[in-house]
Each structure stands twice: as C-alpha cells, then as structure tokens.
Amino acid sequence: MATIKQIRDQSPIILNISNMVTPQHVADAINFIGASPIMFDDIKEAADLVNISNALVINMGSSNDTDVEKSIAAGKYANQKGIPVVIDPVAIGASQLRQDNFAKVAKEVKFDGVRGNAGELAFLADIEWNAQGIDAGEGDGDLHEIAKAVAQKFNCVSLLSGVVDVISDGQKVVEVKNGHHYFAVNVGCGDMLDGILGACLAVDNSLDSAVLAARILSIAGEIAGETTENIPYTFLNTVFDTLYQLSDAQINDLQKLE
Ligand SMILES: Nc1ncnc2c1ncn2[C@@H]1O[C@H](COP(=O)(O)OP(=O)(O)OP(=O)(O)O)[C@@H](O)[C@H]1O
Ligand SMILES: Cc1ncsc1CCO
Ligand SMILES: [Mg+2]
C-alpha cells in the first residue's frame, strides 16, 4: 500500500487530460500531496509526456473529439509502459455523446482505476439511478454492488465517492467514512480525488492505495471543516493547506474503518 511519505519521497509525475473547469484545482491537489502534475493539450506530445510520467488521469468532464483522440493515444502509451490509468466518466448519464466518448476510450485503453460519484458509476454498472448532471443525484441502488460491478466490468479498482466512499477491486469492498459536507458545495473535489488516486496508484497499484486516496482527501476535509463553519470556499482553501501538511500518522489516527 502506498503512503503519503512515499508520494512525497518519489514525487511521481501525474499526467492529466483534464476538463475545462477544474484543472487548477486538480494540479494543486496533486502538488500539495507531494506529487507533480502536468497537463497537456496537443496529441503530438502524448508519447513524450507518458514517457516521463508515472500515472495518467483522464477526466471526461468536457471531452471533445480531440480530447478523445488524445485520451486514446496517451492511454495506449500508458498501458504499453505499464503505468496506471485513471478515468473519470463525469456526468456520463447526461448525454449520448459522453457515453459514446467513454465507450471509444474504454475500447482502446485498459483502466487501473475508475473514479466517479454514485450516479456515474451506477450508469456504468447498468443499475438504475437518477443522476443530476455532474452530481450524484438520487437512487436506491446498493453502493457496494455498484462499486463491485464497475471494478469487475473494467477489471480494475473502482472508487465511488460520496458521503461514504466505496472502493472495490471486484471482490473486496472497503468503505471510507471520513469526509465533510462542504465537499459537495465546491465544484471539482471529485476531479481532485482523480488526481490523488493517480498519485497513490503511481506509487503502488492496489486496492489499498485507492483506499488511501479516498482517505487523504476525506480526512483533509474533516480537518479543514473544524475551522471553516459557514465559509465553504475558505473550506476548500483550507483543504489545500491541510493536504500540504497531512501525515500518515494523522491518517492512521483519524481514519474511520469499516
Ligand atoms: N456529503 C458529503 N459528505 C462528506 N464527504 C463528501 C460529501 N460529498 C462528497 N464528499 C467527498 O468529496 C470528495 C469528492 O467526491 P464527490 O462525490 O463530490 O465527487 P464528484 O461528484 O465527482 O465531484 P465533482 O464532479 O464536483 O468533482 C470525496 O472525497 C468525497 O468523499
Ligand atoms: C461543472 C463541470 N462541467 C463539466 S466537468 C465539471 C467539473 C466537475 O467535474
Ligand atoms: Mg465528478
């Protein structure tokens, strides 16, 4: 299992194909835990950038044809090199285009981690759910069953985020019960988690490392929430400050085990 110390010691380079909304938040989250983010726009440098990177994170929040081509090219290079690939199917239920784009990438690229909220992962698991755009929305589906089904479908680890995060490798299921409700009012905290997941899998590609990723952000939120009542935007800044200082000892102390 990865540790924060290993992330800081190794400073893995995390290559991101980000959405148009939250790239700064994603880069900051990766940087503040001690990894090294890099974003790119032009497919022509996909091979060179994968060559220097330790994980690839594909966020499909605003993918167009060029992004899909870029994701497939970089994803294939990442698979060849053997570095982990994380994908976030943002709001996949919202449009046919999102579904087609995701299918095109999934056909060509093997994923190591699929990260999304309940609405997104329920869609991938073919389980009924009323997603609300980029937000999880409402549903009666069993979160363990959804996370497990997604992990089995893509033969990888799934991280279903929400009030409780549910992480699965298709056999085991682990819950992370830490967190704070202000995550839900700040756009892009899920995208930040994608980057943190990439950094954790870069150090050690395992279920336990995906659990660590969920713990890192959720526990940082819990600590930030202690001093930011009624100031939810300051909460987000405080999450970044907390990520910068967060230690493995704090995670071990504060984790709520299931
Ligand atoms: N109500 C909540 N209470 C506690 N923690 C939460 C809550 N909602 C989300 N989180 C935490 O927020 C982080 C982001 O997860 P979330 O499910 O909001 O992602 P998302 O829906 O993809 O967000 P976005 O699309 O805005 O990036 C996770 O660490 C999750 O544990
Ligand atoms: C608001 C929004 N729209 C597409 S991606 C995104 C950021 C959350 O993933
Ligand atoms: Mg999201």
- Tell me if 225 is assigned to a ligand binding site: no
CATH 3.40.1190.20 for domain 4-254, yes or no, is yes
- What's the mean per-residue pLDDT of the chain? 97
Ligand nearest to the CA of 160: 1
* Beta bridge pairs of residue 17: 58
Pocket test for ligand 1, best of 25, 161, 164 (most atoms within 8 A of CB): 161
Pocket test for ligand 2, best of 57, 86, 187, 189 (most atoms within 8 A of CB): 187
209 neighbors 4 (Cβ within 8 angstroms): no
State the distance from the centre of ligand 2 to the C-alpha of 152, rounded, in angstroms.
26
33 neighbors 56 (Cβ within 8 angstroms): no
Is 212 a residue whose pLDDT tops 80? yes
- Tell me if 215 is assigned to a ligand binding site: no
Tens-place pLDDT, residues 113-167: 999 999 999 999 999 999 999 999 999 999 999 999 999 999 999 999 999 999 9
Instruction: Note whether ipTM > 0.95 here.
Output: yes
Q: State if pTM tops 0.90.
A: yes
250 neighbors 4 (Cβ within 8 angstroms): no
CA distance 59 to 64: 12
Residues with CB under 5 A from ligand 3 (ion): 90, 190
pLDDT tier at 1, thresholds 50, 70, 90: confident
Ligand nearest to the CA of 187: 1
State the distance from the centre of ligand 2 to the C-alpha of 250, rounded, in angstroms.
31
**Could you give the dihedral angle defined by the CA atoms of residues 8, 73, 169 and 167, in that order, rounded to the nearest 10 degrees?**
60
